[in-house]
């Protein structure tokens, strides 16, 4: 395989203008609606009272510093993506040359690639929430306390931590171009589900696809919503692997312990820095391992 950098295609070229236009549209739509106030940064998310009747969707809208932080993370993610693309391409090429199957080269491979990538994304996403080192690749995305299209742009600068999850694709015969296209289309799909401008969709859509309602749950700090709805495009993975949760109570977005910054560098590397700090202050090797590989939030004081 060639090792030159990935070319910018038509979809890449129109993506940023589409992001800008749709965020302007969403901002205008939400300004016409009743908005709720953002709770205090240290507020504890309310506990579900068991009422099966869903709360009405009352959006939070936009705030300039929050949006600026999201845009800063997007810029950094794009730059990191270009910087690391050559390394990713070489690894993919090596694995492809030692592939175990030509399954990925069959007719209709782009559709197959999208389904396989989506399945692997589910597990990648799930592990990012369950292993602290991998959470460092994802925490920035959840750092926003509002939920709008700009939230989707809070992308990682640390994708190298979990890129190995997708290594089965070259081993099963998917070329790098198919892998990149599947990733591109999957992440673009996920852009539109980061919104409070769209309420629940028809039942058949909600049962098969990831939707704004499902993904709002994923961004919730409410106890019943933590570590739920990991899907990229197909919500069937969550239903299949018992991680699905419907949207019932009003969402409180963000982290269980929120950060107090919109600085993209601090958001991107804050969790890695905190891991290093915790490891340095640990008393023994077992604690050091757990600070890196246990679930986010683990500490000797709260260990089961």
Coil, strand or helix at 189: helix
Instruction: Locate 286 and state its tokens.
Output: 């077992």
pTM assigned to the model: 0.94
Helices 176-192 and 10-31: angle between axes, nearest 10 degrees? 10
Which residues fall within 8 angstroms of residue 178, CB to CB, at 6 or more apart?
104, 109, 110, 113, 169
Contact by Cβ (8 Å): 147, 60:
yes
**Domain boundary assignment for the chain:** 10-39+50-293
Q: Per-residue confidence of the chain (304 residues) as pLDDT tens digits?
A: 334 456 788 998 999 999 999 999 999 999 999 999 999 999 988 888 889 999 999 999 999 999 999 999 999 999 999 999 999 999 999 999 999 999 998 877 899 999 999 999 999 999 999 999 999 999 999 999 999 999 999 999 999 999 999 999 999 999 999 999 999 999 999 999 999 999 999 999 999 999 999 999 999 999 999 999 999 999 999 999 999 999 999 999 999 999 999 999 999 999 999 999 999 999 899 999 999 999 999 988 875 4
The sign of the dihedral angle between the CA atoms of 174, 176, 178, 181 is: positive
Place of tokens 């993209």: 264
């Amino acid at each position: 395989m060639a090792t030159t950098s990935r070319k910018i295609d038509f979809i890449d070229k129109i993506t940023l203008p589409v992001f800008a236009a749709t965020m302007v549209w969403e901002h205008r739509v939400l300004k016409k609606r009743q908005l709720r106030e953002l709770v205090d940064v240290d507020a504890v998310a309310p506990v579900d009272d068991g009422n099966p009747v869903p709360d009405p969707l009352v959006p939070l809208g936009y705030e300039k510093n929050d949006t600026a932080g999201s845009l800063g993370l997007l810029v950094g993610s794009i730059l990191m993506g270009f910087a690391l693309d050559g390394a990713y391409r070489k690894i993919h090429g090596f694995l492809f040359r030692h592939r175990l199957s030509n399954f990925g080269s069959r007719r209709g491979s782009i559709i197959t690639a999208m389904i396989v990538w989506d399945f692997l994304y589910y597990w990648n996403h799930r592990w990012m929430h369950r292993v602290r080192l991998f959470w460092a690749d994802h925490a920035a995305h959840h750092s926003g306390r509002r939920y709008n299209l700009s939230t989707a742009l809070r992308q990682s600068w640390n994708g190298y931590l979990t890129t190995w999850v997708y290594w089965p694709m070259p081993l099963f015969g998917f070329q790098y171009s198919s892998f990149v296209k599947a990733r591109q289309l999957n992440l673009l799909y996920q852009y539109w589900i980061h919104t409070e401008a769209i309420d629940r969709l028809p039942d058949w859509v909600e049962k098969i696809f990831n939707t704004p309602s499902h993904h709002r749950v994923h961004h919730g700090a409410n106890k019943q919503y933590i570590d739920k709805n990991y899907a990229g495009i197909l919500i069937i993975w969550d239903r299949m692997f018992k991680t699905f949760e419907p949207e019932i109570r009003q969402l409180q977005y963000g982290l269980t312990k929120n950060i107090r910054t919109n600085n993209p560098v601090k958001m991107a590397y804050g969790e890695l820095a905190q891991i290093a700090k915790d490891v340095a202050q640990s008393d023994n090797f077992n604690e050091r391992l757990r600070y890196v590989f246990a679930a986010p939030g683990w500490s000797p004081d709260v260990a089961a």
